[in-house]
Amino acid sequence: MKKFPGILVFVLFFNFLVKADEGMWLVQMLGDKVYSDMVKKGLKLSKEQLYSINNNSIKDAIVLFGGGCTAEMVSKEGLVFTNHHCGYDAIASASSVEHNHLQNGFWAKTKGEEIACAGLSVQFLIKIEDVTTKVNESLKNYKTSDMASKLGGILNEMSAKAAEGTGFEVRIGSFFKGNQFLQFTYQRFKDVRLVGTPPESIGKFGGDTDNWEWPRHTGDFSVFRVYSTADGKPADYSAENVPYKPKYVLPVSIKGIKDGDYAMIYGYPGSTNRYETSYGVKLKVDIDNPSLVNLRDARLKCMMAEMIKDPAVKIQLASYYAGIANYWKFFDGEAKQLVKLNVVDLKQKDEAAFEAWAKGKAEYDNLFADVKKTYDNWRPYAKHRMYLYEGILGSPLMAFAASLKSYDVALSNASAKPEDITKLAQNVKSAHARFLKGENTPSDKNILAAVLKMFYTDIDADQRPQTFYTTLKNNYGALESNDTYQKYSSYVFDNTMLLNKDKFEAFMAKPDTAILHKDAAYKTAVAFTDNFNSNYSKYYADFTGTNYVLNNKYLKGVLEMQKDKPMYPDANQTMRVNYGNVKSYAPKDGVKYSYICTLNGIKEKYKPGDYEFDAPVKLMELIDKKDYGQYADKSANDVVVTFITTNDITGGNSGSPVLNAKGELIGLCFDGNYEALGHKIAFDKDLTRTICLDVRYMLFVIDKLGGASNIINELNLIK
């Protein structure tokens, strides 16, 4: 067959182009092409209403919530909505066996009943500046191979300088793999209080079975309030503080949605890697993801065994467990979908297209041959690294023990500055308090036994810490037997001061490295970390350093090659906007999924007493009575619990507002669908869906189940 070169080029370049509703756009840099596409899809707002430097706009209602979620201001009195799984840690911390808000839900009927949440904060974005030239000036002083390792320090230093004396926080983000640097200024509010949460049986209905899946019936929301000083400034918790008056408040529409409606999402997506190379995808699929999943699987089982026995342990481990389980399922699904969707092939096509374009441009010579070499050099050690970080250090005791290494080194270093040692000691003490609060010995003991054996079984014999396993065999028995590891783990837990508050405090009062070196937990942890750090971490440093330089170059080329096309940078926990439509999908041949789920589906899934599919009796009564109030969907003749859209989101977008064409809140996005779990690496234009909580279900629960009409009354409801 004769090939037409023009068409060939088009086909080759195709994967690079932004498709359908792909794109996490920096809202302050929306190009005209993207904005007019938004309008074409249905948007009824001006660019100024989306983001404005001079006037209050939607972006002022959006906050970075806690360490990695999004939330939005919905009342003039500082009320914010976010996901239940984003408030989960705060809800669990506010719970006890006697006052089990996690299990029973909680609704503050007055401001006085709200619960302060130590450590929880929200951040408003104040401004953004391009600092690419400044960063490049500093980077120029370093060899190319050192740039990756120096970059973090340079950015931190510049941020600290920019923030000095302003009362704001500054963070500089790297975009397009170091081809652009933007400086973000934030204002952080630290007095955030819990106002309301449904019981976990609503907020996490369906548990890990339904997590990352559609159809879905999870009421994934919680309600908080931001407080400030009387003049609107951030402050630590104080009874004197007053509800914060936000610059912009989202109206809440209960008019409902239909298939095809415009949907727009603002938020803080954490990370994507859409320009990952085929070599990176292969490493993920073959080694990184399966290792992580295997190890997390073992750890989760050990925890669950204790959590189901004791409600106090359930509360203690709930948030930690949920975090590990969430990405255990994600990474498993991600690897499977990357294979199913032939993403390695797609990437290879992109790479071939790039090479065709780069032909004759000396700068890009051998780019992918070098990438290949970089991956080949690292691949033999990749599993070892995962087994260290997700395995051995997946035991909380081992993780805390290993963290003492830098203190140990400083204590043994005659020229270490006393003020540095004091600072390290303070960090160790607070880390120890956190560790003890979260530590559940029975599960951790089983985790340690399990991961020590997995490390032995799965890691190349010549990479293992030899002395450790030889001694283990000599003193505890055959390395193939579970019993050996159980016995050894018991020995470690019985012979460490790290689990004992008084003993550890005594050590910190008079730190003696000889005592630390004899500690069974410390000895075990450093046997593995020292082995890795002395023998293999250099390969990892080479790998990440070289990869940084190669990726930087690759993206520089891609930007040049595509200079007339709108391009969006990978997610990096900076504010983005994306847009799409409410839309059903076909997950596989012969199956079509509806764009909504309703209360009827809760009834279908309901299993009284089940760990994941139980639901409050009162909810089931409301469903039976069809007592929907103003929250019913007329055409569904039911309450819509969730809906799906074609928006491009990822972890970090949790809690993000889903807005209609007029910028009114119609839902909270809380998940992605299983069929598109390769989305961090490759956006699939047919299969990718964002799973959103319908705001009407949320208000139905607050009002009818929680009786918290005080919350409803604060909202600007559009009926």
Stretch that binds ligand ARG, among 2-10, 98-106, 319-327, 424-432 (CB under 6 A): 319-327
Shortest distance, CB of residue 220 to ligand ARG, whole angstroms?
Answer: 7
Catalytic residues: 85, 220, 654
68 binding ligand ARG? (CB under 6 A): no
The residue type found at 497 is: M
Binding mask 661-680 for ligand ARG (x = CB under 6 A): ---------xx---------
Instruction: Please check whether residue 575 is in contact with residue 27, taking contact to mean a CB–CB distance below 8 angstroms.
Output: yes
Instruction: Please check whether residue 100 is in contact with residue 156, taking contact to mean a CB–CB distance below 8 angstroms.
Output: no
- The site that binds ligand ARG (CB under 6 A) totals a number of residues, namely 13
CB nearer to ligand ARG: give 213 or 633: 213
85 binding ligand ARG? (CB under 6 A): yes
Instruction: Please check whether residue 650 is in contact with residue 267, taking contact to mean a CB–CB distance below 8 angstroms.
Output: no
Return d(Cα 257, Cα 458) in angstroms, integer. 51
Q: What one-character DSSP code corresponds to residue 232?
A: S
Binding mask 167-206 for ligand ARG (x = CB under 6 A): -------------------------------------x--
From candidates 176, 189, 212, 331, binder to ligand ARG by CB under 6 A: 212
Question: How many Cα atoms within 13 Å fall on the side-chain side of residue 563?
Answer: 4
CB nearer to ligand ARG: give 139 or 322: 322
Stretch that binds ligand ARG, among 21-29, 226-234, 322-330, 409-417 (CB under 6 A): 322-330
Do strands 262-267 and 69-73 pair parallel, antiparallel, or not at all (unpaired)? unpaired
CB nearer to ligand ARG: give 215 or 256: 215
Phi, psi dihedrals of residue 671, rounded to the nearest 5°: -165, 170
Binding mask 625-654 for ligand ARG (x = CB under 6 A): --------------------------x--x
Shortest distance, CB of residue 558 to ligand ARG, whole angstroms?
Answer: 28
* Cα dihedral 139/141/147/150 (nearest 10): -90
Q: Find where tokens 């005659």 sit.
A: 414
End-to-end Cα separation, the chain, in angstroms: 61
Summarize the chain as % helix, strand, coil (round to 5).
50, 15, 35
334 binding ligand ARG? (CB under 6 A): no
From candidates 322, 399, 620, 712, binder to ligand ARG by CB under 6 A: 322
576 binding ligand ARG? (CB under 6 A): no
211 binding ligand ARG? (CB under 6 A): yes
Return d(Cα 602, Cα 242) in angstroms, integer. 39
CB nearer to ligand ARG: give 292 or 525: 292
Q: Which two tokens mark 577?
A: 């906007």
From candidates 31, 207, 251, 438, binder to ligand ARG by CB under 6 A: 207
What's the Cα-to-Cα distance from 10 to each of 425, 527, 537, rounded to whole Å? Answer: 60, 54, 42
573 binding ligand ARG? (CB under 6 A): no
What's the Cα-to-Cα distance from 468 to each of 471, 479, 487, 525, rounded to whole Å? Answer: 5, 11, 15, 10
From candidates 326, 537, 594, 710, binder to ligand ARG by CB under 6 A: 326
Q: Which two tokens mark 511?
A: 């730190």
Shortest distance, CB of residue 48 to ligand ARG, whole angstroms?
Answer: 31
Q: Which residues bind ligand ARG (CB under 6 A)?
A: 85, 204, 207-208, 211-212, 322, 325-326, 651, 654, 670-671
